[in-house]
A and B are shown apart, each in its own frame.
Chain A
Amino acid sequence: MKKTFYAILFKSIFFSIAFIPILVQAQTEQDALMMGERRLCVAGTLSYNSWTNYWEGTHKRINENIGQVSAKSAILMLNYGLNSRINILASLPYIKTKATAGTLSGLSSFQDVGLFVKWKPVQLNFSEKTFSVFAVAGFTTPSNNYNIDFLPMCVGLGSQVLSGRLIADLQINKFSFTLSGAYLQRNNVRIDRTAYFTDHQINSNEVYMPNAGNFQLRTGYRSQRFIAEAFADKMTTFGGFDIRKNDMPFVSNRMNSTKIGIEGKYYLAKMPVLGFHAGTWHTLAGRNVGQATGFLAGVDYIFDFSSKTANN
């Protein structure tokens, strides 16, 4: 059996969009990499993203009353290999927001806990080519009752998300092509008020959250110890409403975005349990989101429990 040790690298996390990311979880959930049996990867990542331009519906603008809005994050992620075909992943970010102008206060708190099961049912090996299919089931839920009614300064949207993703991956020599699509079933949220206006008045504290889809294409160089990939990512909300001119953003807005970015990962030759990852991205187009640009960097460390067991 092909022993993948380096290629179980932990992929970077990145924040999809901001006003608030719909997909806050790890990039890992979206990539075509697996952890080997009884190995645990622990990753810590620091991330920063900011935007000055944003879209009210389709109207792109700046706002001198907020200036530049930024989010700093620290994310802890775990990825454990039950076996070479099934991985379990968990993540938890801490986020701190800030606006450079105006009077609005930033907020900070832990955000959503994510749990994912990643399964590789198909792996076809040809000479120099490998084709794999992955299925990922995920669930994220707020780790605490953080404020979701103060956008764009909130750390998250407070919605529980059940997600299903299919990933098709083709590796030819050292070159990889990965295509994936996910459906995000989002639970309704409750805000602190008893009425709100979307495109009509709703007398309730419960807010209907439209579901969302995510599509991603990645390609680049992938070897056992080194990965460099470019990606394009599209987030689409199926429903929701537009921010009206000069209105405040709201948790159930139709948040769409198209982003491009690059990511890299490197595991040390002399100490292969230790790796580093970094990435950057930019938002090309959007709707009811900020035009965020971000970057991140982090460290991965792999604990191998399989060898210890073997010694017993």
Chain B
Amino acid sequence: MKKALQYILIGFSFFNIVSCDKEIVENNAAFKALNPVDIDEDAGNWQPVIVTSATDFTLPAPQPTNSAAYQQELQELKALTASLNAEKKQIINYWKVGSVLRWNEIMRELVAKHNLPPYQSTDNTYPVPSAANPFAYPVFPFSNPPYAARAYAYVSIAQYDALVMAYHFKEKYKRSAPYQVDASLATNVPKSILPAYPSEDAVVAGASFEMLKLLFPADIDYITKMAEEEKSYRLWSGANVKSDIIAGDSLGRWVARKVIQRARTDGMGAAGGNQALWTKLEDDCKAKGETPWYSLEMPKRPPMLPSFGNVKPLLFNTTAIPDLRPVPPPSANSEQMRKELDEVLNFTSNPTRERMRIINFWADGVGTYTPPGHWNAIATEEFMKKQFSEVRWARNYALLNASLMDAAILCWNTKYYYFNARPCQLNPKIKTLTGVPNFPAYISGHSTFSGAAATILGYLIPERANDFETMALEASNSRMFGGIHYRADCQAGLETGQKVGAYAISRAKTDGAN
């Protein structure tokens, strides 16, 4: 009561009557220009994820800096850097924070924008978004958590592989940055001693453009605009000459096409399943004497991506999945399940504000960047403090997002293998404090994602490992507090995620970046 009074009094006294300034300052507003403590000049020797070798691509040797062609480019650059208007300066200030970071933010935005389940048709069936016709309703894609996890992973990997190759060529050709060649050039980014050919920004722009065009085709205009602005920014800021940009762009796109070849054959195309499969999942569950999951949505919606569990993982072989898949959940009629149901009912019947805060903080549901996006946001804040080089930003995101994609695969595999019911299906008295996802309960997606992310992030930033673990546990519990998962789902999810994270760690130990 006293606290409430205090709250009201503070409210009354602090209302900002004079200032009508309600502008929002975003978390990323204070990010500083990329200025790595270690430029990782040997990154050309790091191990790429999908591209087999940096030498697969033939990047033509650049013109030397004393050539007439280069001097001509330099003169053009001087003209460009001397005529910057406010809009160009704003674009420079946006991109100089870091290419990989900005594309990660753009990706999170695209995921949030497209994370909407389609509205039913008049016959109570649900239309499926079509990549062949992305602009028509329902707009392609529906970027639900598995879709998002895979998108984040492929884009991050394309950026990383492309940068590894770029660093290889930088070292090979050793062409200096224009501001090193001509000290009188006006420069709007921190100067680096890293060779400038090919431009790492153009590499990332090219790779991101090709990947995102495939993954979010309806946003082609926005993606094109961002990629073009990024390439222009390198010229306007005096960081690269045009031939650095052109070479980088073509290299980035080439790598993206390699990644796309892998993506096209990873099994995602069949992940949605069909009526025969949905029926079979139900029948198989019944045959085991268990209570099968059913959609709690009205009208009933087909389960989300039931065959996503068969998508080809990045960090381990498909053959490892049966061993990684956790033991069965408590049987629907068991004493253990009754206890777990009671626990969930107790949470939802007595919601505290603190538990609702935790539920909301980790909800990452419809219209958000999903749990994988949330962990990317968490990682971004941490990476920022470390002042990584572009290539290390890319490598760390690639490790994180490969873990998140494989966590999604393993989690979805488990969900549809056991096909068990959500708490509120078994006990309708349970009313949820967040939306009920349209797929089976065991194991919790949030827990699996969070276990995987916290494990690899704890390796990358050891001093924060305990905090990541605490966050993962909170994310996991949030689903139980919200009434949509049992304790068994959460615990097994965390443990399974941690196993995926361990694969990422063993990759990180041998990728040459340590």
A contact residues vs B (CB 8 Å cutoff): 64-65, 101-107, 110, 113, 115, 139, 141-147, 149-150, 160, 162, 185, 187-188, 191-197, 200-204, 206-209, 244-248
Contact = CB atoms under 8 A, between A and B. Distances in A.
Given A147-B356, A149-B360, A197-B109, A246 B436 contact: no
A103 B367 contact: no
21 contacts: A64-B298, A65-B297, A65-B298, A101-B298, A113-B11, A139-B12, A143-B8, A144-B353, A146-B353, A187-B22, A194-B361, A197-B112, A201-B105, A203-B28, A203-B105, A204-B24, A208-B23, A244-B116, A246-B119, A247-B116, A248-B367
A103 B8 contact: no
A97 B361 CA distance: 22
Given A149-B363, A162-B15, 11 more contacts: A65-B298, A110-B4, A144-B4, A195-B368, A195-B369, A197-B369, A201-B109, A202-B26, A204-B24, A207-B24, A246-B117
Contacts of B297: 65
A203 B432 contact: no
A192 B360 contact: yes
A143 B108 contact: no
Nearest to A142: B11
Interface in B20-37: 20, 22-28
A208 B431 contact: no
Contacts of B356: 147, 150, 192
A206 B363 CA distance: 17
A106 B297 CA distance: 18
A193 B26 contact: no
- Give the dominant DSSP class at A's interface: loop
B137 A245 contact: yes
Given A197-B368, A201-B112, A201-B369, A143 B4 contact: yes
Contacts of B436: 103
Interface string B98-141: 00000001001100110011110000000000000000010000
Nearest to A210: B22
A188 B22 contact: yes
A247 B366 contact: yes
B183 interface: no
> What size tier do the contact residues of chain B reach?
35 or more
B16 interface: yes
B432 A104 contact: yes
A197 B113 contact: yes
Contacts, number: 134
A187 B17 CA distance: 9
A203 B26 contact: yes
Contact of B8 (A141, A185, A204): A141
B11 A141 contact: yes
Contacts of A150: 356, 360, 433-434
Given A64-B299, A195-B368, A208-B24, A113 B108 contact: no
Contact of B431 (A105, A185, A194, A204): A105
Interface centre among A115, A191, A192, A195 (most CB of B within 10 A): A195
Nearest to A209: B22
B15 A203 contact: no
Nearest to A201: B109
Interface string B337-366: 000000000001001010011001101011
Contact of A147 (B116, B119, B360, B483): B360
Q: Is the interface of B mostly helix, strand, loop or mixed?
A: loop
A97 to B, nearest CB: 11
B399 to A, nearest CB: 22
A204 B25 contact: yes
Nearest to B5: A143
Contact of B24 (A162, A188, A194): A188
Residue of A105, A142, A194, A202 with most chain B CB atoms under a 10 A cut-off: A105
Nearest to B433: A105
Interface string B33-62: 000000000000000000000000000000
A191 B26 CA distance: 14
Given A194-B27, A246-B116, A103 B360 contact: no
A201 B28 CA distance: 12
Nearest to B368: A197
Given A141-B15, A150-B433, A102 B298 contact: yes
A37 to B, nearest CB: 26
Q: Which 9 A-B pairs have the closest CB atoms?
A: A141-B11, A64-B298, A105-B431, A192-B360, A201-B109, A197-B112, A246-B119, A203-B26, A149-B360
Contact of B20 (A144, A185, A201): A185
A248 B366 contact: yes
Nearest to A192: B360
Contact of A204 (B12, B17, B26, B113): B26
B26 A160 contact: no
A160 to B, nearest CB: 5
B296 interface: yes
B367 A197 contact: yes
B321 interface: no
A193 B20 contact: no
A187 B368 contact: no
B424 interface: yes
A144 B6 CA distance: 10
Contacts of B368: 193, 195-197
Interface in B195-241: none
B377 interface: yes
Contact of A201 (B113, B366, B434): B113
A247 to B, nearest CB: 5
Given A143-B7, A208-B24, A209-B22, A102 B351 contact: no
Given A188-B22, A204-B24, A195 B11 contact: no
Contact of A104 (B298, B351, B431): B431
B7 A139 contact: no
Contacts of A143: 4, 7-8
